[in-house]
A and B are shown apart, each in its own frame.
Chain A
C-alpha cells in the first residue's frame, strides 16, 4: 500500500483554508466563462485553483451551479486537496447571475453572515412558473434583498444584465467587474482585466462591461445608504396630472373632475380620462365621469377613497375595450413606430419594418359593423360559415408598407362610427350590468362593491382568451350575487378573484366555488 502523503502526519496541521467561490447561474448565461476567468485570474497570480461544474442537459436554461476553490501556493509544489462541491457555511463568495438564483444560494445555505460576500445581478429572468400565471406570479425581489442583507457579510446587487446589454457583452463580464470591485479577492483590477484579455474572446466588449460594472459597484459600495430593491407593482405606476391641456371641452371636464371627486382619486381619474378620451373623444370622457359619480357619492367623506379609485381604474378599462379599431389605431401610430425601433435596439442607420401577426375572426368583423347588420349576419349560421372561410385566417400585416398601412389606417378611422357598432353596444350593456350590481352592493357594503369593481380585472385578452376571462367574470358575479348579504362577502369575492387569476385551467376557481357552495 502506498503512503499517499509525504508530509509529517503528527498534529502540525496547516490551518489555511482555500477561498471558496460558488457561481449560481442559469444554463446558457455563460457561468462557465466567468469561472474560467476566475481560474485564469488566480493562476496568473501564482495561486492554485480547482473548478467544477455540473454539465449536460441540466444546463439547458435550468439553475446551474459552478464551484471554484483557490489557494495561494505554499511553494512546495504540492497540490492541495480541494472540494468539488460547496460546503454550506464555508463559502466566501457567492455570485448570483440572476436575483432569484442568489436567493437559491441562500436557501442552499451557501451564504453565511460571518464570511460570505454575495454578489448578484438584480435583474429578473422570470421562471416559467412565474410567467404562466394569468395574473401576476412574479416573486417579490424585496424578500431576497432582506434575506441577503441579513444573512451575508457583504451584499452587492445592481442590474448587471442592463450593463452587459449596453456594452453588447455577456453578464459574466459585468459580474467579474463587480467581483473585482468587491475586494473579496486579494487581486488588483489589472489582474482581472489581464484574465479577460488572456481568454481572447470578445475582449473589448467584455472589458467595457467589466469597467462599467466595476464603476457601478464602487458607487454602490460608497453610497451612504444601501440602494433599495427594484421597484415592482404599484410602485412602478406613473400617473398623469389631472390638469388642463388647453382644450376647452377637455379642460372643462378636468375642472368638473376636480370639483366632483376627492383629491386622492385624482391621479387615477387623470389616467382614466386620458385613456377613454384617447380611445374615443372628449364626450366619451364626460360619460366616464358620469359613470364614476355614483361611486364617489357612496363613499363621500372617506379619506383615501378606495372605491372611487377602483372605479376610476376599472371603468376606464371597461370603456376602452380592445376592439379591431383600437388595435388598428395603436398599431399605426407614429409613436408606436419609434417605440418598436427602441425595443429592438435598432441603430439610427438601420431600417426596421414590423410585421404583425393578426387573426381576425368573423366575431370581430361583425362586432365592427353597425349593430343591426352585425346581428343580422350573426343570426344566419350559413352566411357566417361562408364569410368565415373568407375572413378567418392568420394574416401577416406589414405595417411599414403603404399597401398594408392604408387599410389599417382606414380601419383605425372607423372610430367615429364606433358608438354604433355591435361590439360597442354589447360592451356597454355588459358594463352597465356590472356597474349596477357593483353600486347596488357598494351602497350596503363598500368593501364588497370595491371587490366587484376589481373583479373586472378578469376580463382581458382577445378572442378565446377573452371569452374564457369573461366566462369566469360572469361566474364570479353570479357567486357574488348569492353572497351579497353575508358579512364576509367582500372577503370571499376577493378570494374568487385571486383564484380565477391563479391558473389558466380554472381549477382554483372551481375549488373556491365548491368551498363557498358548501356553506351557502
Chain B
C-alpha cells in the first residue's frame, strides 16, 4: 500500500479526444503513455518518480482494459532489462526510475539494449534527482545517454510539452531503432497544470501476441561479430535517422524575438526559469513572449547541427543555459560552431556557475550579465540602475543565522527505526563505537543528530557489501545496516550472499518496516499486507537462512529497546563464525497510521470501546537535562519553557502528535534515564465495567490523596 493513493486521480486517465486534463506531471506522463499505445510499463520507485509507479499501480484496471502489462520491477536493472521485449517485437515499452542512481543500476541492461537497438519504441523515463530536495550525489544522466547512445529528451516543464515528448519519443525511438530517455526534473514531476487529451490507444501488438508468436534475430544479440556491427550501425544509420526525425518533427522549438542579434539556447527543462529571468529584466512576459530569440532544446542529445548553425549564424552573441556538469552541450555546441566556421561568441559556464542547480537567483544573475554585456541599452531603466537594497539587513541576517536551526529530514513521529538506533547508542556506551556501514533508506537518518551513527553509504542495498573489507580478525566487528527495500533490491546477493561465501564475521542489521518506505511505502516481497496483484509475505529471515546464514535473530517489535540492545550485544560478542544477521521488524508508522487511524476514528464514532495510548512527561519530575531527547529525536518529544522559577532550563514535553509507539518509555527504562515519562491509556467509550472499576479505584485512591493533601500545607 503506497503512502499516497491516486485512486481518484487515475479516473482522468480515461479522458478522450479534446478533453482537458488537470493534474500533476506524473499523471500527465501516464496518460501520454496510454495515448501512445504503450504495450508494457515497468519501473522501480524513487523520488521524484515514485508517484509515477503509484499512479500506475492504482491504474491497473485501466491498464488491464487496454491490454497493457505493468510490473513493479525488483530493481532498475530489472526495469531496464524489461525493455528487451521491444528488441524483436514492434511493441512500445516504457520503464521509469530515479536518476542518475537508478540509471547506474540499470546501465548494464541499457548498454546492451542500446547496442542491439530496438524495433518497438523504448522509452526510459528518468526522474532527474538534482538540486534542492535531492537525496543523492549530484550528477547528470546526460553522460549515460552519450556513452550508450540513447537519445535524451528534456522537455519544457509544461504538461503539453511533456506529453508531446512522450508521444514523439516513441516515434523517434522507432525511427532510429534507438532507446529514448525522457528526463523530468524534480519539480516538473509534481507541477500541476493541464493539457488537451487524446483517446487512449490499445497497443498494435500486445506482449501476449508476441509471446505466442516468438521471433529471434542473432543480429540483434550483443555478441561478436554482431556487436561490432552495432557500433557502426549506431553511427551510420541510427544517428542520422534520429537527427532527421528531430528536425522534421520540430522537436526543438524557437521562440522568436525582436532583438535578433543575440540569442539564448537552453535545455527545455530550463525554459520557465529563463523566461522568468527575462521577465525580471523587462525582456519577456508571463505569456511566453520574449524579446530575445530562444532556441529550446527539448532534445539535448543528439544536437541538430543545422538548427544550431541557423540560430547562431547572424548573431553577435549566444548564451547557453545548461544545468549541471560536465558542460557536455557547451562542448558540443562549440565544436559545431567551430566546424561550421560560425564566429558568434558562445557564453555559458563562463557566466553561469559550473556546478549546482540553476535557481531563480542564479538564472537572473547570469542572464542579466549576458544582457548587460551585449545589449545594455535594451534594459528597462529601473533594471539598469538596480540599486535595490538587500532583502535582509545585515544585522537581521546575523540574528537569524543565530536562531534559525537547520532542519534536515529525520525519522517520523513513532518511527520503528528510532528505537533500533537508540539501542545502538546504548550498545556503543557499553562496547564502544563500531564501524557502521550505512545504506540508502530512511534508516540513513541515523547519521544525523541525535544518533550520529553510520560512516559511509555506497548505494542502495550495498550496506553489507560496503563492510566487506572489514572481514578480518579484530577486537571489534563491523555493523552493516540495510533496509528491506535495499535487501530485495540487491542486498540479498551483494551483501548476504557475499558475506556467507567469504565467511564474513560481521554483523548485518536488516531494518524491516514492511514497505519500501523512503520511496513512499510501496510493497515488497516481504510486505505483510495482502496485495491483490503482487505476491507478498516472503520473510526476509527465510531468504537469509536459505542463503546459508547460521546466526539469524528476528525481532518482531523494534520498540523493545532492551531486547534490541541485548541482541546487538550478542551479535557483536558471540563466538559463532559467519555473518550474524538481525532482522528487526516493525511496521512503518507513517503507513500504519494512515491505515489504522481512519478505522480507529470510525470505531470511536460508532461508540465502540477503544483505547488510545500516548506518552507524557511529568513536568515537576523532569529536570531538563534532555538525555531522553538525545536518545530519540522524535518530533513529538520536544522541550517546553517552564513557569517554575527554580528551573533554569526547559523541560521535556510530548505533544498531541504522539502516536504512543512507546519508544520514550522503553528508552527511559533501558537507559535508566528518569521516572518522568508516563504512558496514558485513554479509554474512549468506556464500558459499564470500566466505569465501575474506575469509580472504585477513584474512591480508594481519592480518599488517600485527600488525606495526605489535607496534611500538606497549601502553598502557592
CB distance from B44 to the nearest CB of A (A): 14
**CB within 8 Å of B: which A321-338 residues:** 322, 327, 330-334, 336-337
Is B694 an interface residue when CB atoms closer than 8 A count as contact?
Answer: yes
Question: In the complex where A147-B400, A245-B714 touch, is A14 in contact with B286 (Cβ < 8 A)?
Answer: yes
**CB within 8 Å of B: which A56-96 residues:** 56-65, 71, 74, 78-90
Contacting residue for B255 out of A4, A141, A457, CB 8 A: A4
Question: In the complex where A18-B286, A131-B638 touch, is A107 in contact with B404 (Cβ < 8 A)?
Answer: yes
Contact with A along B626-655 (1 / 0, CB 8 A): 110110010101110111111011100000
Contact with B along A385-414 (1 / 0, CB 8 A): 000000000101001111001000100110
Q: Which residues of B contact A132 (CB under 8 A)?
A: 449-450, 626, 629-630, 633
Determine whether the beta carbon of A2 is less than 8 Å from that of B191: no
Determine whether the beta carbon of B405 is less than 8 Å from that of A129: yes
Determine whether the beta carbon of B289 is less than 8 Å from that of A7: yes
Contacting residue for B621 out of A273, A331, A396, CB 8 A: A331
CB distance from A164 to the nearest CB of B (A): 10
Max count, chain A CB within 10 A of own CB: residue among B256, B258, B644, B678: B678
Closest B residue to A82 using CB positions: B272
Q: Which of A274-282, A425-433, A441-449 contacts B (4 or more CB under 8 A)?
A: A274-282
Determine whether the beta carbon of B704 is less than 8 Å from that of A127: no
Is B553 an interface residue when CB atoms closer than 8 A count as contact?
Answer: no
Determine whether the beta carbon of A357 is less than 8 Å from that of B675: yes
Contacting residue for B287 out of A7, A140, A231, A457, CB 8 A: A7
Q: Which residues of A contact B48 (CB under 8 A)?
A: 55-56
Is B411 an interface residue when CB atoms closer than 8 A count as contact?
Answer: yes
Contacting residue for A128 out of B286, B449, B520, CB 8 A: B449
Is A233 an interface residue when CB atoms closer than 8 A count as contact?
Answer: yes
Q: Which of B182-190, B232-240, B497-505 contacts A (4 or more CB under 8 A)?
A: B182-190
Contacting residue for B187 out of A5, A13, A54, A274, CB 8 A: A54
Using a Cβ–Cβ cut-off of 8 Å, how many residues does chain A contribute to the interface with B? 160
Q: Which residues of B contact A18 (CB under 8 A)?
A: 286
Q: Which residues of A contact B134 (CB under 8 A)?
A: 58
Is B301 an interface residue when CB atoms closer than 8 A count as contact?
Answer: no
CB distance from A409 to the nearest CB of B (A): 6
Q: What separation, in Å, do the CA atoms of A59 and B285 have in the docked complex? A: 33
**CB within 8 Å of B: which A132-156 residues:** 132-136, 138-141, 143-144, 146-147, 150-151
Determine whether the beta carbon of B450 is less than 8 Å from that of A51: no
Max count, chain B CB within 10 A of own CB: residue among A53, A80, A111: A53
Q: Which residues of A contact B275 (CB under 8 A)?
A: 81
Contact with B along A331-374 (1 / 0, CB 8 A): 11110110010011110011111111111010000000000000
Is B525 an interface residue when CB atoms closer than 8 A count as contact?
Answer: no
Is A286 an interface residue when CB atoms closer than 8 A count as contact?
Answer: no
Question: In the complex where A104-B404, A352-B681 touch, is A4 in contact with B396 (Cβ < 8 A)?
Answer: no
CB distance from B388 to the nearest CB of A (A): 7
Q: What separation, in Å, do the CA atoms of A332 and B495 have in the docked complex? A: 53
**CB within 8 Å of B: which A20-43 residues:** 26-28, 39
CB distance from A105 to the nearest CB of B (A): 10
Q: Which of A190-198, A299-307, A461-469, A475-483 contacts B (4 or more CB under 8 A)?
A: A461-469
Q: What separation, in Å, do the CA atoms of A402 and B697 have in the docked complex? A: 6
CB distance from A516 to the nearest CB of B (A): 23
Contacting residue for A5 out of B289, B445, B643, CB 8 A: B289
Question: In the complex where A4-B288, A9-B258, A132-B626 touch, is A353 in contact with B641 (Cβ < 8 A)?
Answer: no
Contact with A along B394-413 (1 / 0, CB 8 A): 00110111111111111111
Contacting residue for B645 out of A12, A140, A271, CB 8 A: A271
Is A222 an interface residue when CB atoms closer than 8 A count as contact?
Answer: no
Q: What separation, in Å, do the CA atoms of A436 and B674 have in the docked complex? A: 30
Determine whether the beta carbon of B272 is less than 8 Å from that of A57: no
Is A417 an interface residue when CB atoms closer than 8 A count as contact?
Answer: no
Q: What separation, in Å, do the CA atoms of A320 and B646 have in the docked complex? A: 10
Determine whether the beta carbon of B672 is less than 8 Å from that of A50: no
Contacting residue for B641 out of A17, A103, A127, A233, CB 8 A: A233
Question: In the complex where A87-B360, A131-B626, A143-B403 touch, is A136 in contact with B649 (Cβ < 8 A)?
Answer: yes
Q: Which residues of B contact A322 (CB under 8 A)?
A: 621, 623
Q: What separation, in Å, do the CA atoms of A109 and B624 have in the docked complex? A: 36
Contacting residue for A278 out of B193, B361, B713, CB 8 A: B713
Contacting residue for B193 out of A14, A50, A245, A359, CB 8 A: A50
Q: Which residues of A contact B697 (CB under 8 A)?
A: 400-402, 405
Q: Which of B246-254, B319-327, B572-580 contacts A (4 or more CB under 8 A)?
A: B246-254
Determine whether the beta carbon of A129 is less than 8 Å from that of B406: yes
Q: Which residues of B contact A126 (CB under 8 A)?
A: 405, 638-639
Q: Which of B30-38, B207-215, B276-284 contacts A (4 or more CB under 8 A)?
A: B276-284
Is A223 an interface residue when CB atoms closer than 8 A count as contact?
Answer: no
Closest B residue to A356 using CB positions: B678
Q: What separation, in Å, do the CA atoms of A232 and B189 have in the docked complex? A: 42
Is A172 an interface residue when CB atoms closer than 8 A count as contact?
Answer: no
Q: What separation, in Å, do the CA atoms of A165 and B708 have in the docked complex? A: 36
Determine whether the beta carbon of B282 is less than 8 Å from that of A13: yes
Question: In the complex where A49-B192, A457-B649 touch, is A343 in contact with B616 (Cβ < 8 A)?
Answer: yes
Q: Which residues of A contact B469 (CB under 8 A)?
A: none
Q: What separation, in Å, do the CA atoms of A349 and B609 have in the docked complex? A: 12
Q: What separation, in Å, do the CA atoms of A147 and B390 have in the docked complex? A: 13
Q: What separation, in Å, do the CA atoms of A483 and B257 have in the docked complex? A: 76
Max count, chain A CB within 10 A of own CB: residue among B254, B273, B401, B708: B708
Q: Which residues of A contact B286 (CB under 8 A)?
A: 14, 16-18, 71, 80-82
Q: Which of A175-183, A211-219, A235-243, A287-295 contacts B (4 or more CB under 8 A)?
A: A235-243
Is B595 an interface residue when CB atoms closer than 8 A count as contact?
Answer: no
Contacting residue for B562 out of A237, A240, A394, A413, CB 8 A: A394
Determine whether the beta carbon of B307 is less than 8 Å from that of A144: no
Is B715 an interface residue when CB atoms closer than 8 A count as contact?
Answer: yes
Q: What separation, in Å, do the CA atoms of A112 and B47 have in the docked complex? A: 32
Determine whether the beta carbon of A460 is less than 8 Å from that of B625: yes
**CB within 8 Å of A: which B549-606 residues:** 562
Q: Which residues of A contact B419 (CB under 8 A)?
A: none
Determine whether the beta carbon of A356 is less than 8 Å from that of B675: yes
Determine whether the beta carbon of A138 is less than 8 Å from that of B289: no
Q: What separation, in Å, do the CA atoms of A79 and B275 have in the docked complex? A: 14
Q: What separation, in Å, do the CA atoms of A457 and B648 have in the docked complex? A: 7
Q: Which residues of B contact A384 (CB under 8 A)?
A: none
Determine whether the beta carbon of B291 is less than 8 Å from that of A9: yes
Q: Which residues of A contact B677 (CB under 8 A)?
A: 356-357
Q: What separation, in Å, do the CA atoms of A151 and B404 have in the docked complex? A: 16
Max count, chain B CB within 10 A of own CB: residue among A74, A82, A405: A82
Is B706 an interface residue when CB atoms closer than 8 A count as contact?
Answer: yes
Q: Which residues of B contact A275 (CB under 8 A)?
A: 646
Q: Which residues of B contact A140 (CB under 8 A)?
A: 402-403
Is A106 an interface residue when CB atoms closer than 8 A count as contact?
Answer: yes
Closest A residue to B288 using CB positions: A81
Contacting residue for A351 out of B624, B633, B690, B702, CB 8 A: B690
**CB within 8 Å of A: which B661-696 residues:** 664-666, 668-675, 677-684, 686, 690-691, 694
Give me 21 A-to-B residue pairs in the complex whose CB atoms sit less than 8 angstroms apart, sorted by A's number. Answer: A3-B253, A4-B254, A9-B258, A50-B192, A55-B133, A79-B193, A81-B275, A87-B280, A88-B361, A106-B392, A107-B404, A111-B392, A143-B396, A143-B403, A240-B716, A270-B716, A331-B618, A337-B705, A351-B694, A354-B681, A405-B697
Known interface pairs A56-B133, A331-B618; 6 further A-B residue pairs with C-beta atoms within 8 A, sorted by A's residue number = A60-B409, A60-B445, A86-B360, A132-B450, A346-B680, A357-B666
Q: Which B residues fall within an 8 A CB radius of A? A: 46-48, 50-51, 129, 132-135, 157-158, 160, 186-194, 250, 252-258, 271-273, 275-276, 279-280, 282-291, 294, 296, 307, 359-361, 364, 388, 391-393, 396-397, 399-413, 442, 445, 448-450, 518-520, 562, 614, 616, 618, 620-621, 623-627, 629-630, 633, 635, 637-639, 641-646, 648-650, 656, 664-666, 668-675, 677-684, 686, 690-691, 694, 697, 700-702, 704-706, 708-709, 712-716
4 closest A-B pairs by CB: A56-B47, A54-B133, A240-B716, A139-B403
